[in-house]
Amino acid sequence: MAFNDILKSSFLENVTSVTILDMVVALTLAFGLGVFIFLVYKKTFKGVMYSSSFGVTLIALTMISTLIILAVTSNIVLSLGMVGALSIVRFRTAIKEPLDIAFLFWSIAVGIVLAAGMIPLAVFGSAVIGVILIVFVNKKSTDNPYIVVIHCSGGDAERSVVKALEGFVRKCVIKSKTVTANSVELHYEVRLKSDDTSFVNALSRTQGVCDIVLVSYNGDYIG
């Protein structure tokens, strides 16, 4: 083997497989669209505790996806190896909000589309998805369920407050009932007629009612 053959390396030949201009344009657009996805996530977040690290993850995930696809599209052999490498990756972080999954897939999809050179599709698609999410997620709806927790002193007070509750709300469904020697605890799922929650004040003045609590309800109930 001659000395010149030693310097001939397939690894070094791959250095120029992706041009500097392609890398700069792709990663810059990935960062910009990643920031857009992050801002949409921040605008539409409806969870209990906002995680800024998840928003930064969306930006990083967009750029990482772009980086991987740029490498894969420039080398067929590398693409086969990348499939095998990524197939053994396991993520253990629990996703608490179902909408977070959509943002994760959005970031990955944008990175893939950008690296494939479909820049108009990535930009236009992201704009449409962002507008749709902002409109529908932030849309106020009185159909959102609530849980009303009622503590009353006995059966007479229970009948009175339940009858009054049915008149104030559009839908009322019993979820649980706990009876002790001196009190009754009721959990009702209700659908409001409007955004007005002052009916809770009126119910609290019902004779025999100790206290009433109205809490937001995400649809999952554990009795």
Q: What is the pLDDT of residue 86?
A: 55
Cite the residue boundaries of each domain of the chain with CATH code 3.30.70.260.
145-216
* Amino acid in the structure at residue 116: A
CA 30 to CA 65: how far, in whole Å? Answer: 9
* pTM higher than the cut 0.85: no
- Using DSSP's 3-state secondary structure scheme, residue 216 falls into strand
Q: What is the pLDDT of residue 143?
A: 66
CB atoms within 10 A of CB 38: 21
Nearest Cα residue to 59 out of 135, 116, 111:
111
Q: What is the pLDDT of residue 130?
A: 92
Superfamily of domain 145-216: ACT domain (3.30.70.260)
Q: What are phi and psi of 115, to 5 degrees?
A: -65, -25
Give the containing element (helix H, strand E) for 189: strand 184-191
Alpha-carbon distance values, 37 to 60, 77, 124, 169 (Å):
11, 32, 13, 37
Q: Residues in the chain with pLDDT < 70? A: 1-17, 47-48, 74-95, 140-143, 217-223
The alpha carbon dihedral of 26, 30, 33, 35 has a sign of negative
Q: What is the pLDDT of residue 221?
A: 45
